[in-house]
């Protein structure tokens, strides 16, 4: 049986890479995001079937669920959509940015999960054996950093949703996987965070030898989904080797310590 995954955030970065990785390993994939033109281009390239939706809107999420119910079984939800806005101190934080981050990372995760769980259960009943949920949170969910509070709080909120969900689904054959990446060099994430300032975005990655790229995260997600259905990767924290911690990033070439 061909398994079908719903991948949110599929119009760019990690989500797009997940659609590619899943298609390459034999999955059917439904990419979801707001920008229909980018989704359509991906569909044409890899044979996914997209659905344009704003996941912060209940009506859009309901329409997505109805579309999925009418178009075949769903075996996996990979929730990648989200992001950061601003890098301000708490005292200077823009309430609109904070609201956006909670909508994009926490509330949409709840909406999509609630809407798709009945479909995932139906996929199990109709022969799928098990179902999967995967959430891309962040190392920002684990460690605060100055200027990160809004994103730290939102991603920690999403991570707690994942923890609670795993407890609530105990007794059902539904895996709940959290992937927490550190620095991933994607095209839009930092630029969007910094108000469209490409120069400032480039500076963040300057001199960092091999930040993670979207394909690195997608490979791990595909691995998690392709392991036998009884194996649950609760939490995978992944960083570039150059980033030992949120606050400890090596810039410049990585090299062994000189011999004594």
189 binds ligand NAP (CB under 6 A): yes
The answer to whether 179 and 220 are in contact (CB under 8 A) is yes
Could you tell me the smallest distance in angstroms from the CB atom of residue 14 to ligand NAP? 4
Q: How far is CA 89 from CA 94, 98, 145, 152, in A?
A: 10, 12, 10, 12
Length of the chain: 260
Could you tell me the smallest distance in angstroms from the CB atom of residue 138 to ligand NAP? 4
Question: Which CB, 82 or 123, lies closer to ligand NAP?
Answer: 82
Give the whole-angstrom CA distance, residue 151 versus residue 98.
Answer: 8
Among 183, 221, 225, 249, binds ligand NAP (CB under 6 A): 183
225 binds ligand NAP (CB under 6 A): no
Give the whole-angstrom CA distance, residue 162 versus residue 165.
Answer: 5
Q: How far is CA 214 from CA 162, 189, 192, 220, in A?
A: 21, 11, 16, 10
Residues 25-54 that bind ligand NAP (CB under 6 A): 33-35, 54
Stretch 89-108: interaction string toward ligand NAP, x if CB under 6 A? ---------------x---x
55 binds ligand NAP (CB under 6 A): yes
User: Which residues, other chains included, contact 243 with Cβ-Cβ below 8 Å and sequence gap of 6+?
Assistant: 182, 183, 208, 211, 249, 250
110 binds ligand NAP (CB under 6 A): no
Residues 145, 151, 205, 223: which is the catalytic one?
A: 151
In this structure, is the dihedral angle defined by the CA atoms of residues 163, 169, 172 and 178, taken in order, positive or negative?
A: negative
Could you tell me the smallest distance in angstroms from the CB atom of residue 143 to ligand NAP? 12
Question: Which CB, 8 or 48, lies closer to ligand NAP?
Answer: 8
151 assigned to active site:
yes
Among 110, 143, 192, 232, binds ligand NAP (CB under 6 A): 192
- Residues in the interface with ligand NAP (CB under 6 A) total 29
H or E, element range at 4 = strand 4-8
For the chain, the first-to-last Cα distance in angstroms comes to 58
Give the whole-angstrom CA distance, residue 133 versus residue 5.
Answer: 9
DSSP H helices, 124-206, are 149-168, 189-193, 198-205
Give the whole-angstrom CA distance, residue 213 versus residue 184.
Answer: 5
Q: Which residue lies nearest ligand NAP, judged by its C-beta?
A: 13
Stretch 56-75: interaction string toward ligand NAP, x if CB under 6 A? x-------------------
Could you tell me the smallest distance in angstroms from the CB atom of residue 81 to ligand NAP? 4
Could you tell me the smallest distance in angstroms from the CB atom of residue 52 to ligand NAP? 8
Residues acting as catalytic residues = 151
**Residues interacting with ligand NAP, by CB under 6 A?**
8-9, 11-15, 33-35, 54-56, 80-83, 104, 108, 136, 138, 181, 183-184, 186, 188-189, 192, 214
């Amino acid at each position: 049986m061909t398994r079908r995954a719903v991948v949110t955030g599929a119009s760019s970065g990690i989500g797009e890479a997940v659609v590619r990785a899943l298609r390459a390993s034999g999955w059917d994939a439904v990419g979801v995001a707001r920008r229909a033109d980018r989704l359509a281009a991906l569909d044409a390239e890899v044979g996914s079937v997209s659905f344009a939706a704003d996941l912060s809107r209940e009506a859009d999420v309901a329409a997505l669920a109805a579309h999925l119910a009418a178009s075949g079984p769903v075996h996996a939800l990979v929730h990648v959509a989200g992001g950061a806005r601003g890098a301000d101190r708490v005292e200077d934080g823009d309430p609109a940015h904070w609201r956006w981050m909670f909508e994009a990372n926490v509330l949409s995760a709840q909406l999509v999960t609630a809407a798709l769980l009945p479909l995932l259960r139906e996929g199990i009943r109709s022969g799928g054996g098990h179902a999967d949920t995967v959430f891309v949170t962040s190392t920002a969910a684990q460690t605060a950093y100055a200027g990160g509070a809004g994103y730290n709080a939102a991603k920690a909120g999403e991570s707690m949703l994942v923890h609670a969900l795993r407890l609530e689904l105990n007794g059902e054959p539904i895996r709940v996987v959290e992937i927490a990446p550190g620095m991933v060099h994607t095209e839009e994430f930092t630029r969007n965070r910094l108000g469209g300032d490409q120069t400032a975005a480039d500076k963040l990655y300057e001199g960092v030898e091999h930040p993670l790229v979207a394909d690195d995260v997608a490979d791990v997600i595909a691995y998690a989904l392709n392991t036998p259905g009884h194996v649950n990767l609760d939490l995978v924290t992944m960083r570039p080797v150059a980033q030992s911690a949120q606050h400890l990033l090596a810039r410049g070439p990585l090299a062994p310590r000189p011999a004594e």
